[in-house]
Amino acid sequence: MGEHHIASTSKVWDAPPPSGKGGKGGQGGKGGTGLARYVVAAALARTADGGAVVAVVLLVTSCGGSGTLAGVLGACITAPHLLGPFVARPLDTARDGRKVIATACLLYAIALTGGVLTYGHAPAAVTGLLLAAAGTCGPLLTGGISSRLPAIVGPGLRTQRRAQGWDVATYGIGGTVGPSLVAGLSGWVSPTAAALALVVGAVTAAGGVLLLPFTAPSHGGDRTAILKPGATLALIVRSGPLRRTVYLTMIVALSVAALPITAVHLTKILGTEPATAAVLTAAYGLGNLTGSIAVMVFPLTGDPGRLMRHLALGVVAGLLTVTASPAFAVTASAYALTGILNAFFFASTLAARTEYAPSGARGQVFIWVAALKITSGSAGTALAGSLTGVTVQLPLVVGLLAVSAAVVAATAETRFGGADEKRLP
């Protein structure tokens, strides 16, 4: 995928030189064991985060609670993810970022346990507060862990890109294994047992994070030099590469969020049973996982900005195919294709965050982008729900037009941009 830009990558690389254990950690540990431990810890943490909402909803409904209460308590876990940028700063200021993430995993486990066990035995507000506490820790289990990856695998561009493929896979695992595990255990034992299984995963993830190679902090002891959340967002807005990373990420997230909603309505047009909507969403998930595996085997190469623009257009092609599909088999294939292309796009955004973010604010940049992506995805779901009442394909058309416009804007910015195009040290 084009040029390698190794020199540019090394400019933003701030891992410590090899010296004792810390140096080995910066290079990924012996024989790549640092990456292996990262994948296990990240997959466990994201499985816990990905399955928690399903566990809460099943817990409430199985106990006779209303759908409204189930939705509110589920939102208590997801909504606090938007606070991620305001809890991310300790990642950049701490002497050992591993301890920050491990603590977040443990707090997540404790709060989720409390929320599940108090349901039905305490006021719903108490349960909601405990679940909100768990949700506040969520960003550190997702984007927070990702921000550690560059220092673990070392400065080699190809090595970083392959590791980012593994990282995309852990997100895919969390988003599929988490809900599936909860659904299975809920039917076999109970929703409470399913939620507690996620708690065990989060606690295990905490231990795994502490086993990751140590990396010296980039602030060099001067914690006052670390930007605050507002200043980090201002930095993102000022930096052309980071700004484009954010709005491309947000608009693609908004667009693909329509796929699960439209799947249900597309079955009517295609003349299939409503239950086959699950096949379409499963095809998308399988495609996403396949794409992440492909990125591991064939790491992305070239400038992240160019990669994002090209792969965003790939997502447009997938959405267009879904929109124009005349048959169920074609639609399912288009869902899978879109999942594959979105996995590649996600990997390119991880590369952009790694290579464009300044070392002293990398953790905050990762979580800012993740929080804005979640916000945009939620907005896309709501928008799709309202637009399908007009025309089933309208959310898809709006999405592909929005992504196309964003790519045009990013291309124009890149071509005619000025001083804000420089990479930050």
pLDDT digits (tens, 9 = 90+) for 46-76: 999 988 988 998 899 888 888 788 888 988 8
Same domain, residue pair 52 and 110: yes
Higher pLDDT, 252 or 219: 252
Find the mean pLDDT for residues 135-158. 84
Same domain, residue pair 277 and 237: yes
Same domain, residue pair 158 and 250: no
Domain of 294 in residue numbering reads as 227-425
Find the mean pLDDT for residues 232-245. 92
Higher pLDDT, 6 or 385: 385
Q: Identify whether the C-beta of residue 37 lies closer than 8 Å to the C-beta of residue 212.
A: yes
Please report the pLDDT score of residue 32 as a whole number.
65
pLDDT surpassing 60 at residue 289: yes
Same domain, residue pair 129 and 274: no
Same domain, residue pair 330 and 415: yes
pLDDT surpassing 60 at residue 16: no
Closest CA to 79 of 41, 151, 128: 128
Same domain, residue pair 186 and 233: no
294-325 residue pLDDT tens: 988 888 889 999 999 999 999 999 999 999 99
Please report the pLDDT score of residue 380 as a whole number.
85
366-422 residue pLDDT tens: 888 888 888 888 788 888 888 888 888 899 999 999 999 999 999 999 988 764 555
pLDDT surpassing 80 at residue 129: yes
Output the pTM of the full model.
Answer: 0.78
Total domain count, the chain = 2
Closest CA to 176 of 60, 284, 333: 284
What confidence category does residue 211 fall into, taking pLDDT thresholds of 50, 70 and 90?
A: very high
| Tokens representing residue 127 in the block | 């349960």
Asked which of 225, 259, 276 is the last residue of a domain, the reply is 225
Same domain, residue pair 182 and 267: no
Same domain, residue pair 247 and 146: no
Asked which of 175, 200, 225 is the last residue of a domain, the reply is 225
Separation between Cα atoms, residue 340 and residue 1, nearest integer Å = 16
Same domain, residue pair 128 and 143: yes
Separation between Cα atoms, residue 377 and residue 85, nearest integer Å = 17
Same domain, residue pair 41 and 98: yes
Asked which of 207, 225, 243 is the last residue of a domain, the reply is 225
Please report the pLDDT score of residue 345 as a whole number.
96
Please report the pLDDT score of residue 371 as a whole number.
85
Same domain, residue pair 269 and 170: no
- In order of 89, 266, 285, 355, the CA distances from 144 in angstroms are 10, 37, 23, 16
Separation between Cα atoms, residue 86 and residue 281, nearest integer Å = 33
Same domain, residue pair 200 and 341: no
CATH code for position 36: 1.20.1250.20
